[in-house]
C-alpha cells in the first residue's frame, strides 16, 4: 500500500508542481489559517502528504501523520512525524493536541466505517475544546471532477460531513460549503497577491470555491448518563 502511494503521489504532485503547492500553502497559512488556528496551539496535520500545510502553519508544536513514508523527508526538522493510518494513530497521545487539520484526505477513505474510525481517533487525540479543521472537495459542487482521481472513494458534501461529525460527538462551529477552488492543476493565476485577495474577499468564494471548510469542536465535557 505504501509503495503504491509513493508511486501515485510522486507522479501526481510532480504534475501539479511541489514548489507551487508549497508557495500557495505558505500564503494560505499566513493569510488565513494562522488567524483561524492561533499561533500558540499544538497542531497535528493528519495525512500531511509532503507537508505543504504543516511546514508553513504557525504553531507551538507541530505533528504530522501519513502512511506514505516519503512524507517524513519533506517535513521541517521540528515536526514530529508518525507513519500511521488515520484510523489508528499509534504514538499520538490521548488529548495531546489543540487542533487536528486535514486537507483533501477524507475522500480517500474506503468507507463510512473508516471515516468513523478516523473521527474517533481525532476525538481521542484532541484536548477538550480542541478543533478539527477539514478541507476537501465538495461533491455537491465538484461532482464532475470528483472522480478524476483514481484513489477517490468516499463522496462527501459539507452537509454529510457535518452530520457524520455530529454523530461522532463533535460540535460544528463553522461550515463553509464553498471555500477554495477544486484543484491546483488549473491554469488559474495563483500569485501570492491574488491568493491574499481571494481569501480576504469572501464574496469570491461562492463563485470559485468547490471545496468545503468545516470546523468542528470536541466538547469540553463528556456526557454522563
Report the helix count and the strand count for the chain, using DSSP H and E.
7, 7
Query: Which pLDDT tens digit goes with each residue over 190-209?
Result: 688 999 999 999 999 999 99
Q: Which residues on neighbouring strands pair with residue 212, listed in sequence order?
A: 136
Question: 3 or 42, which is more confident?
Answer: 42
Which domains are delineated in the chain? Answer: 2-217 (3.40.50.150)
Which SS3 state, helix, strand or coil, does residue 183 take? Answer: coil
Residues 109-139, buried b or exposed e (16+ Cβ, 10 A)?
beeeebbebbbebbbebbbeebbbbbbbbbb
Contact partners, residue 37, CB within 8 Å, separation at least 6: 43, 57, 58, 59, 99, 101, 131, 133
Q: Which residues contact 69 (CB under 8 A, 6 or more apart)?
A: 2, 6, 83
Q: Percent of the chain having pLDDT more than 90?
A: 78
Query: Is a pLDDT exceeding 80 seen at residue 153?
Result: yes
Residue 224 has pLDDT above 50, yes or no: no
Q: Is the pLDDT of residue 181 over 70?
A: yes
pLDDT > 70: percent of the chain: 88
pLDDT of residue 14 exceeding 80, the answer is: no
- Nearest alpha carbon to residue 135 among 107, 103, 178: 103
Identify the pLDDT of residue 225. Answer: 42
What's 212's DSSP letter?
E
Q: State the pTM of this model.
A: 0.89
Amino acid at each position: 500500500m505504501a509503495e503504491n502511494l509513493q508511486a501515485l503521489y510522486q507522479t501526481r504532485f510532480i504534475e501539479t508542481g511541489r514548489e507551487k503547492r508549497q508557495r500557495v500553502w505558505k500564503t494560505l497559512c499566513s493569510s488565513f489559517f494562522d488567524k483561524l488556528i492561533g499561533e500558540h496551539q499544538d497542531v497535528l496535520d493528519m495525512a500531511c502528504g509532503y507537508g505543504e500545510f504543516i511546514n508553513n502553519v504557525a504553531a507551538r508544536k507541530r505533528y504530522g501523520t501519513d502512511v506514505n513514508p516519503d512524507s517524513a523527508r519533506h517535513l521541517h526538522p521540528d515536526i514530529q512525524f508518525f507513519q500511521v493510518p488515520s484510523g489508528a494513530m499509534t504514538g499520538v497521545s490521548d488529548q495531546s493536541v489543540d487542533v487536528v487539520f486535514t486537507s483533501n484526505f477524507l475522500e480517500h477513505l474506503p468507507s463510512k466505517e473508516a471515516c468513523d474510525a478516523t473521527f474517533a481517533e481525532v476525538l481521542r487525540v484532541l484536548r477538550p475544546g480542541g478543533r478539527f479543521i477539514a478541507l476537501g472537495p465538495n461533491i455537491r459542487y465538484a461532482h464532475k471532477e470528483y472522480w478524476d482521481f483514481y484513489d477517490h472513494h468516499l463522496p462527501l458534501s459539507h452537509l454529510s460531513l457535518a452530520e457524520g461529525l455530529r454523530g461522532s460527538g463533535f460540535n460544528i462551529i463553522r461550515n463553509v460549503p464553498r471555500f477554495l477552488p477544486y484543484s491546483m492543476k488549473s491554469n488559474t493565476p495563483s500569485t501570492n497577491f491574488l491568493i491574499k485577495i481571494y481569501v480576504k474577499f469572501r464574496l469570491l468564494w461562492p463563485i470559485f470555491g468547490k471545496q468545503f471548510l468545516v470546523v468542528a469542536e470536541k466538547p469540553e465535557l463528556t456526557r454522563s448518563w
